[in-house]
Amino acid sequence: MILSPRDSIHRARLSANGATVSSKTACRALRKSLEAGGQPAFPPSVVVDVKRLACELPSHSDVPLARFTIPELHREVLARGIAAQISGVTLWRWLSADALQPWRHRSWIFPRDPQFAEKAGRVLDLYGRTWKRAALRRDEYVISADEKPSLQARRRKHPTLAPGPGRPMRIEHEYFRTGALTYLAAWDVHRAKLFGRCEPKTTIGAVDRLVKQVMTTEPYRSARRVFWIADNCSSHRGEKAVARLRAQWPRLTLVHTPVHASWLNHVEIYFSIVQRKVVTPNDFTALRELEDRLLAFQRRYEQTAKPFQWTFTRTNLAALLAKLKAKELGRVA
């Protein structure tokens, strides 16, 4: 409930702890308690109101903030008359009790594919080495593939300084752009085998060359089936891509992840490692140096690589979708 300024002032005058005080005696007792260093006893309703406020988006109540911090939350609690006196430490303690941290945020990918459950289920089954309820044979393989486009090579305007005692590496803020490329990679989900190549940009031809790189190598060349998991990029989207790759490689089955669901693709885990270990900080004298570094890291990584421990199953998927649906229904209601 949002109080008017008049109501807020009236409520604040009535009570220092959020409860209505009907006598001057109670006010004097509270004042003496505060002067003696005592903490006011806040009624449960005040705690609930504070936590409710913390769980709201500030913009929904016309507060010009992206998110609440403790000082900003403290200011709103006082401005709304939820309490006339309260410390930031008390607010933090209340929020901490329920692990509420409104000052933090994280990126999230919300399912929006109408066939999300069906498409995601197929991918998860392959990770568990099943296809259409039948176990995969030893000569059947699962490849997870994707592209990391528009990787820039930035040459810093001052040479990077190596770290020293008590000093981290120093990277010049300004840079020259020396070009960009696309890094394509294919990851054998169960064998931790890695293939990759650099191309000027993502095209059908670039994707086909990566597929050829894998499918002309044993054991995939003589495999019974190779399941190729990919997202819905224009270079391998839809049934046309399925038919094109099947015509070139009869043993290959293209399996699409749901739209807007890159987190279901194993190779994205490898790309996150590349981002941390190779591309950040971005400091390359030329585009060729970036390409050489990417492919050298690929070879280095594969020497000690192990399959990723994927624990998200169809059961977890069903629970997640049910939880999201319940939250959506609650929001609409």
Digit-coded pLDDT (tens) for 90-114: 999 999 999 999 999 988 878 888 8
Domain CATH for 276: 3.30.420.10
Residue ranges of the chain with per-residue pLDDT less than 50: 1-27, 29-30, 32-34, 36
Contacts of 130 by beta carbon, 8 Å cutoff, 6+ apart: 136
Residue 101 sits at φ, ψ, to 5 deg, of -135, 75
pLDDT at 39: 53
Host domain of residue 93:
5-97
Domain match, 121 and 87 both: no
pLDDT at 113: 85
| 220 falls within a domain | yes
Q: How far is CA 323 from CA 52, 249, 279, in A?
A: 21, 40, 36
What gap in Å lies between CA 208 and CA 225, rounded to an integer? 17
Measure the CA angle with vertex 227, ends 224 and 232; round to 5°.
155
| 292 falls within a domain | yes
| 187 falls within a domain | yes
| 73 falls within a domain | yes
Domain match, 171 and 239 both: yes
Domain match, 27 and 166 both: no
Domain match, 138 and 242 both: yes
Domain match, 120 and 50 both: no
Domain match, 127 and 263 both: yes
| 325 falls within a domain | no
| 269 falls within a domain | yes
Q: Which of 30, 64, 97 corresponds to the end of one domain? A: 97
Q: Which of 11, 35, 8, 34 is nearest to 21 (CA)?
A: 11
Half-sphere exposure of residue 48: CA atoms within 13 angstroms, side-chain side: 4
Measure the CA angle with vertex 320, ends 315 and 325; round to 5°.
130
Contacts of 315 by beta carbon, 8 Å cutoff, 6+ apart: none
Domain match, 174 and 243 both: yes
Give the tokens for residue 42.
């806040």
Q: Which of 70, 97, 124 corresponds to the end of one domain? A: 97
- What is the total count of domains within the chain? 2
Domain match, 190 and 302 both: yes
pLDDT at 6: 40
Domain match, 85 and 128 both: no
Domain match, 20 and 63 both: yes
Q: Which of 69, 97, 125 corresponds to the end of one domain? A: 97
pTM of the predicted model as reported, rounded to 2 decimal places: 0.78
Domain match, 84 and 171 both: no
| 270 falls within a domain | yes
| 281 falls within a domain | yes
Domain match, 32 and 158 both: no
Provide the 3-class DSSP secondary structure of residue 63.
coil
pLDDT at 40: 58
Q: Does an H or E element contain 315, and which?
A: helix 314-332
